Structure 1
Amino acid sequence: MTAKPTLAHLALLAAVLFVSASSVSHAERPPNLILIVTDDQGYEDVGFNGCQDIPTPHLDSIAEEGVRFTNGYVSFSVCGPSRAGFITGRYQGRFGFNMNPTLDPSNELAGVPLDEATLAETLRPAGYTSMAVGKWHLGTHPSLRPRQRGFDEFFGFLSGGHQYFPEQLTLQDFSEITKVGQWYRTKLRRNDEIVEIDDYLTDELSDAAADFVDRRHDEPFFLYLAYNAPHTPMQATKKYLDRFKHIEGKKRRTYAAMVSAVDDGVGRVLEKVAEYGIEERTLVVFFSDNGGATSNASSNKPLRGSKGTPFEGGVRVPFAARWTGTFPAGVDYDQPVISLDVFATMVALTGVTPNKPLDGVDLTPYVTGEAQGAPHDQLFWQWGGQTTLATRRGADKLIVGKKRTMLFDLDADLSEADNLADRRKERTEELSADATAWADQMKPTRFPGRLSWPKKD
């Protein structure tokens, strides 16, 4: 992969050539918003991060025609809490969403609390029509589902994972679940109705997303396209598998096929945007919900760790955004950003005031060169009821666990191999105090975990 210019090199040019959203009158039509999220995709597994065996031309186009965030993070290294963070723009620990929740549809606490506004709920007063496509994982209770949380339309499933082939979707809904994991076999929902599908799930989701753009391109829209690929189970059709006969390992070959199906789907959505000539009034953001998992043959190289861990391989993800004519093209932005910033960035374009203070930051002035410096002084994470904390300030990243404390200089040691905690004790103590003070603001988990339901006989 050829080196790209950094934002620092283009800041002056950007200030002259690109118009920031803050200079656009809110009386004008606000931009369309597309958020594309993959599931358990490895940091290295996109072309714009150097992947060699899985072509991702459409995902790459977002970075090539926009901005690649080289230090892009999520707020948790597991699916549900990560989603709760970026859908609200707030650290999910502020409302006790600290693990994947039970999928018990009778539990009204197992999701994003009703007093925490979702992005769709926040955008509604600005005249947006919103659709959620794919994986929800933010509550199965009737009050917590997409249509009750601000989305005008929904096509997808409520759980955290799913079978990909239609013949395997044999359960009507959650009322038929008798064992843990059977939610993978529930039929899909279109709005509030249970529907049959006849195609590979990733393709069904892509078609629904492209159709939404087709139907709503004349009005401000928000599309949240949440693929469950390449999360397990490892399933792909012959069409996609045949593209990767050169990959010897079966699991990696299937993983590649699943990623390729996503990339095709993203291409169809972007083609719709181009077809209607709305590239200059459509902000497109892409990232993975967490790092690649050990179970799906993903690659997080050169990072240490994987999904579920506090290391970079768990929380640093492929991350890019495109807004033709406003964001510079082909630029690397190297300051740390986090998925919480997507909410803040999108809402700032509408003139709507969020109902609570955000932890995310509007990235538009930083990307366009209007604002200098770093969007965040510090980023934070927690796991296991605060038994593990992490924070990053500048290049320094601290991890405080039950048994050991680790300090890494990410500029010099991206793979987190050289623990500096004993050699930089003052810095270690300082960052540890910061992490503890932040964790004290977080709330205990408000619901049981995903394995708690249904109860065993």
Structure 2
Amino acid sequence: MKYIFLLISIISSVHVGLAQEPPNIVLLFADDAGYADFGFQGSKIMKTPNLDKLAKQGVRFTQAYVTHPTCGPSRAGLMTGKSQYRFGYEENNVPGFMSAVSAADGAEMGLPVQEITMADYLKKQGYATAFYGKWHLGGADRFHPLKRGFDEFYGFRGGARDYFPYESDPKESLNKMERGFAHYEEHKGYLTDVLAEESLDFIERNSKSKTPFFAFLSFNAVHTPMDATEEDLKQFPELMGNRKIVAAMTLALDRAAGKIMDKLSELGIAENTIVVFTNDNGGPSDKNGSDNSPFSGIKSTHLEGGIRVPFLMKWPGKLKPNTTYDLPISTFDLLPTFYAAAGGAVKELKDIDGVDIVPYVNGEKTGRPHEVLFWKRDARAAMRKGDWKLVRFPDRPAQLFYLPDDEKELNDLSASEPVRFKEMYKEMFAWEATLERPRWLLKKSYEKADIGRMDAYWPNKKSE
């Protein structure tokens, strides 16, 4: 009889061990994609079968936000799990080749080294970590991915580069492809495909060694320059101009995502892998032909089209497939979500703003993950509190919107809701008073340009 009990004990221990095996984590991160430019978001033009499949396998978040409407600050918030405004990362992408700055310039601008990254936290939990693609969090060596918690890196330190190989050294050295640390190795082929292929070896190696891994695929697609292969362009004969090119670039992005998901299935680890797909900010429709419908606004604006993004998350056994989650979350929630999934205690995470979203999605926790969210850039700012949104401008009075009835932000309710308007305005200022001063500043001409772009993509403002 004692042998039977021993056998039962061993089997139970094995099952517990399997249940506690930490999941692998894959983050598929697009760049400048339009909110509506995916089949799972309702597009009838874009061809995204692999990401559409991911949406059916996981959860689609209908109110996912970024922490900032431009690339660099948005990535800083995601990477640290906190509002980047609190450490002065407010004004601009880095390196600041377009900036007039205070205290730092060029490669010296970057994610402060004292900030702890999601890769740092996951390494603490025993994960192998790798980063592929666009870094855009500082060009100096001290900001390098291999010094920010990542074990492996193949990509470029800057913010944008060609998708086809450079035939000679690019003028901007931070746009050179780099393998590891300071070893330049230009890619062969179309970059979106290359980044996926590069990640497959890392995934396979760690799968064989039974090491949990975190693979961050930071695609530069569909950011400018507008580069696509002839084969992909031929898939959209009915389109023209940038709309045709962005469709072809999105097809390549989807193909790359499919390669990753196919490899996970091939290795038999898909059931124990978290896969997240999202984007760094709204699409710059005036630059790359992206579509942010049904919202007003584009990249660099605080309208919904600038800050609300596509977001998918798959975790077999933890999240119900083919469902939606309809309350606001933020990309700074990914760090605590990943850390908790890796076996870490979220209460150990000090000085962060994100939350583990899994208990909210699967119903263990009720209420909203965030009652209030903030965004800021110089004199401009925005605040979402519940379903109400306040937007402050540098050139006109602030406006108040009720998003469930007004997703395009066309009906200013500040006059009809004076008490709410005043309270939110004061609350936003109180939040701003807690922030660190910006580490660098944009030239005012760029701020003026962004206001013009906002009005051009805000239907009720075109005639003013």
Report TM bin, short chain: 0.7 to 0.9
Structure-1 residue corresponding to 2:356: 362
| TM-score for the superposition, normalised by structure 2 | 0.86
Deviations 1:361-413 (Å, cap 9, x if unpaired)? 101111111111111111111112xx111111121111012222111111001
For residues 95 and 164 of structure 1, what CA distance do their matches in structure 2 show? Answer: 33
The answer to whether the Cα contact below 8 Å between 1:406 and 1:419 also exists between their aligned partners in 2 is: yes
The answer to whether the Cα contact below 8 Å between 1:108 and 1:143 also exists between their aligned partners in 2 is: no
Cα offset, 1:187, TM superposition: 2.4
For residues 106 and 57 of structure 1, what CA distance do their matches in structure 2 show? Answer: 42
Dislocated runs of 4+, deviation >6 Å: 24-27, 104-108
The answer to whether the Cα contact below 8 Å between 2:37 and 2:290 also exists between their aligned partners in 1 is: yes
Q: Is 1:187 matched with 2:187?
A: no
The answer to whether the Cα contact below 8 Å between 1:68 and 1:332 also exists between their aligned partners in 2 is: yes
Map of 1:164-175 to 2, 5 A cutoff? Answer: 164-168=163-167, 170-171=169-170
- RMSD (Å), alpha carbons: 2.0
For residues 445 and 168 of structure 1, what CA distance do their matches in structure 2 show? Answer: 38
Greater length-normalized contact order (CA 8 Å, ≥ 6 residues apart): 1
Deviations 1:204-248 (Å, cap 9, x if unpaired)? 11111222212222210001100001000101011211111122x
Deviations 1:243-285 (Å, cap 9, x if unpaired)? 11122x2211110000100100000000111111212211111
1:285 to 276, 282, 285: 276
Q: Is 1:259 matched with 2:250?
A: yes
Structure-2 residue corresponding to 1:434: 427
Structure-2 residue corresponding to 1:35: 27
Structure-2 residue corresponding to 1:275: 266
Change (3 A) 1:168 1:438: farther
Cα offset, 1:106, TM superposition: 8.2
Structure-1 residue corresponding to 2:386: 394
Cα offset, 1:25, TM superposition: 8.2
1:60 to 52, 71, 81: 52
Deviations 1:189-213 (Å, cap 9, x if unpaired)? 0111110222111111111122221
2:437 to 441, 444, 450: 444
For residues 419 and 86 of structure 1, what CA distance do their matches in structure 2 show? Answer: 31
For residue 36 of structure 2, give the secondary structure of its aligned residue in structure 1: coil
- Range that drifts further, 236-245 or 129-138: 236-245
Structure 1: segments with no counterpart, 5+ residues:
1-23, 172-176, 452-457
Structure-2 residue corresponding to 1:338: 330
Deviations 1:399-449 (Å, cap 9, x if unpaired)? 012222111111001111111111111111111122111111221222466
Deviations 1:308-342 (Å, cap 9, x if unpaired)? 00100000011110011211011110000110111
Structure-2 residue corresponding to 1:140: 139
Change (3 A) 1:216 1:392: same
Query: Which one-letter code corresponds to 1:242 in the other structure?
Result: K
The answer to whether the Cα contact below 8 Å between 1:110 and 1:448 also exists between their aligned partners in 2 is: no
Q: Is 1:425 matched with 2:424?
A: no
Cα offset, 1:64, TM superposition: 1.1
Change (3 A) 1:28 1:408: same
Deviations 1:331-358 (Å, cap 9, x if unpaired)? 1100001101111101112215655321
2:288 to 282, 287, 296: 296
Cα offset, 1:103, TM superposition: 5.2
For residues 85 and 96 of structure 2, what CA distance do their matches in structure 1 show? Answer: 19
Map of 1:150-161 to 2, 5 A cutoff? Answer: 150-161=149-160
Change (3 A) 1:26 1:437: farther
The answer to whether the Cα contact below 8 Å between 2:196 and 2:257 also exists between their aligned partners in 1 is: yes
Deviations 1:91-121 (Å, cap 9, x if unpaired)? 0011111121235898675111111101001
- Range that drifts further, 328-337 or 367-376: 367-376
Q: Is 1:75 matched with 2:74?
A: no
Query: Which one-letter code corresponds to 2:271 in the other structure?
Result: E
Structure-2 residue corresponding to 1:149: 148
Structure-2 residue corresponding to 1:376: 370
Query: Which one-letter code corresponds to 1:208 in the other structure?
Result: E
For residues 54 and 183 of structure 1, what CA distance do their matches in structure 2 show? Answer: 34
Structure 2: segments with no counterpart, 5+ residues:
1-15, 98-103, 445-464
The answer to whether the Cα contact below 8 Å between 2:26 and 2:216 also exists between their aligned partners in 1 is: yes
The answer to whether the Cα contact below 8 Å between 1:39 and 1:229 also exists between their aligned partners in 2 is: yes
For residue 411 of structure 1, give the secondary structure of its aligned residue in structure 2: helix
Cα offset, 1:183, TM superposition: 5.0
The answer to whether the Cα contact below 8 Å between 1:125 and 1:352 also exists between their aligned partners in 2 is: no
Structure-2 residue corresponding to 1:110: 109
For residue 194 of structure 1, give the secondary structure of its aligned residue in structure 2: coil
Structure-2 residue corresponding to 1:12: none
For residues 194 and 119 of structure 2, what CA distance do their matches in structure 1 show? Answer: 22
- Of all paired residues, the percent bearing the same amino acid is 40
Q: In terms of Rg, which structure is larger?
A: 2
Map of 1:230-249 to 2, 5 A cutoff? Answer: 230-247=222-239, 249=240
2:206 to 201, 216, 220: 216
Change (3 A) 1:442 1:323: same
Deviations 1:149-168 (Å, cap 9, x if unpaired)? 11000010000111111135
The answer to whether the Cα contact below 8 Å between 2:94 and 2:107 also exists between their aligned partners in 1 is: no
Cα offset, 1:62, TM superposition: 2.1
Structure-2 residue corresponding to 1:319: 311
For residue 404 of structure 2, give the secondary structure of its aligned residue in structure 1: coil
